[in-house]
Structure 1
Amino acid sequence: MTLAAVTLVVVAGAWALRREPAGTAPPPAAASGRPPASAVVSGAATVTQAVQPAASGQSAHAGVRYTFDGGVTGPVLDGAGRLPLRIRSAGGELSAVPHAGGLAVRFPPRCEHYGAQSCARAILQSGPAEFLNPGQGAFTYGASVLVGPDETSKGANVLQKGFSVGDSQFKLQVDGAAGHPSCVIVGTGGPTIYVALASLTVADGRWHRVECSRRDALLTVAVDGQLKGRSAIPSSLSIVNADPLCIGGKGTSANNDQFTGAIDDVYVTKAA
């Protein structure tokens, strides 16, 4: 099947507000805005971002990978022992569940009314992570996800760094009732949101590997190793921000794009 390029162009006026009113949903497949200042991590923001030496043969700045095999009761470190993730919650809980001989992390159950203040919310969030900024360079990011047919939502972030308004961003999401994953990037030069939307659902109660890749003028999304969507992007697009890495949502505000289901093997890898 020929894959059509999917490019969403959003004018700045349509994204003037960084937060949707409680009880409303963001536009489909779009990268929603930055949470209010009160929702930004406090404890994790004080973590010293000292990059430790990586494993032999791996660049100290190549990226990060999280397996969650040590559970989520304390700081979650990447495979090189750096960039701790900490739980941030608003009435929600995270738990470790078995997966592939190790552990994955399960997020709060689906809320009946997206964006309601009463919805349980919980994410994993790092401190500032400038070393993950890809700039104009090639990079990949992704995760393994488990989403049931009854766990889809209008907003469901797997991982995110940065925001779509007045910032830059890369993001993986499984937004919408159909449960089609998509890769999202926004550059520093303007408000245009580029989306590579997969042509199939992952909301079938089985584990799937989803990978986003930016190479020159192309953004792609692959599911279980098969290319399933693409979008043309400017080769000069640059992603640089001082924001943390977030897993499972963009924050803990009511419209935090809370992911429902389980996540494992999260990674961000920059080209050498």
Structure 2
Amino acid sequence: MGLVVGAGLMVRRSFEEQVAEPSTATSGPPPPVVGSAPGLASPSVAASEHRANGVRFTFDGGLGDDADGRLGLHVRKAEGGQLSVVPHDGGLAVRFPPRCEHYGAESCARAILQSGPAGFLNPGRGSFTYGAAVLVQPQETSKGANVVQKGFSVGDSQFKLQVDGAAGQPSCVIVGTHSDTIFVALSSRSIADGRWHRIACSRSNSLLTVAVDGVETGRASIPSSLSIANEDPLCIGGKGTSANNDQFVGVIDDVFVTRIA
């Protein structure tokens, strides 16, 4: 079993929590749906520096490739799960399926965005940052909710942003190659308040941090030798389409991954 390490806390994860799906791959109510999301389209990219060292998806043109066509996104779904586009900040964002009453049940609607192999996003031992803007209502929290993920925690390597648990506290997770130790930087602040929040995870040498709206809210020490390298896809909104896919519930926008030279 893997170890979870973060903010001075080390606990043992259960086997069920570790099992990963095989790689394939403003206050008030939520904003209204303004259109169905196509399976593939072309969003804009907010900043040119991300093109050289990573990717950024704004979804303002729908769902699909970044402006340079380096990383296509495709909709994957099961049990009637659907994605839709909703207005946000003068552009568009992606709404994911509603919360399922029985978390992890086979009958739960599931839908994510997934790229093809994305090895060029591997940070190795280098510094990098990743994150997204998210909107989660208090009633939309769940046991597991992945915002963005690349790789897996078992027999692989991984970086992930999640909003797990009823409290709605985001956390940044990384796992190095040839290791079963899971490092977690858990935010002290909940974001499940029906307002938009920008969450950023940053790894620099031996430190992993999580920031909410530009303010650091959690950190964890990690080995400076930790390396993340895999050929897995980038996944947004869940790790796959199996019943235990850690389906995100809410709205996501401005997803980014940036390697820092």
**TM value normalised by structure 2:** 0.85
Deviations 1:19-72 (A, max 9, x none): x4xxxxx3xxxxx432146xx33xxxxxxxxxxxx9997476500000000113
Preserved contact between residue 157 and residue 250 of structure 1 (Cα < 8 Å): yes
Q: Does 1:83 align with 2:95?
A: no
1:255 aligns with 2:244: yes
* Greater share of strand: 2
CA distance in 1, matches of 2:19, 2:162: 14
> Is residue 66–residue 265 contact of structure 1 (8 Å, CA) maintained in 2?
yes
Question: Are the aligned partners of 2:133 and 2:252 in contact in 1 as well (CA < 8 Å)?
Answer: yes
1:222 aligns with 2:206: no
Per-residue deviation at 1:271?
0.7
Pair 1:64-2:55 in alignment: yes
CA contact (8 A) 2:46 2:56 kept: no
| Separation of aligned partners in 2, 1:117 and 1:251 | 13
How far does residue 78 in structure 1 lie from its aligned partner after superposition?
A: 1.7
Q: Please, what is the CA RMSD of the aligned residues? A: 2.0
- Measured against aligned partners, the alpha-carbon deviations of 1:209-237 in whole angstroms (never above 9, x if no partner) come to 00000000000000000000000000000
1:211–1:57: structure 2 CA closer, same or farther, 3 Å change rule?
A: closer
Summarize the alignment of residues 1-272 of structure 1 with structure 2, pairs less than 5 Å apart: 5-8=7-10, 10=12, 14-15=14-15, 20=16, 26=17, 32-36=18-22, 40-41=24-25, 58=49, 61-72=52-63, 76-90=64-78, 91-272=80-261
Q: Report SS of the residue matched to 1:252.
A: coil
Overall identity of the aligned pairs, in %: 70
Distance 1:220 1:80, change over 3 A: same
Say if 1:104 and 1:263, in contact at 8 Å, map to a contact too: yes
- Structure 1 contact 180–198 (Cα < 8 Å) conserved: yes
Query: 1:80: how far off?
Result: 3.0
Say whether the 8 Å CA contact 1:10–1:192 is kept in structure 2: no
Asked whether the equivalents of residues 9 and 194 of structure 1 are also in contact (C-alpha less than 8 Å), the reply is no
Residue aligned with 1:268, SS: strand
- Measure the CA separation in 1 of the matches of 2:217 and 2:47: 34
Question: CA contact under 8 A between 1:167 and 1:241: conserved in structure 2?
Answer: yes
| Residue 160 to residue 57, structure 1, CA distance change in 2 (3 Å) | closer
3-state SS of paired residue (1:150): helix
Could you tell me how far apart the structure 2 residues matched to 1:126 and 1:120 are? 20
Alignment partners' CA distance in 2, 1:179 and 1:209: 14
- CA offset digits 1:93-150 (Å, max 9, x no partner): 0000000000000000000000000000000000000000000000000000000000
For structure 2, which runs of at least 5 residues remain unmatched after alignment? 1-5, 26-44
How many residues were matched structurally?
A: 236
Q: Hey, what's the Cα distance between the residues in 2 that align with 1:8 and 1:208?
A: 28
2:29 aligned residue: none
Give me the TM-score of the superposition, normalised by structure 1: 0.82
**2:7–2:219 contact (8 Å) kept in structure 1:** yes
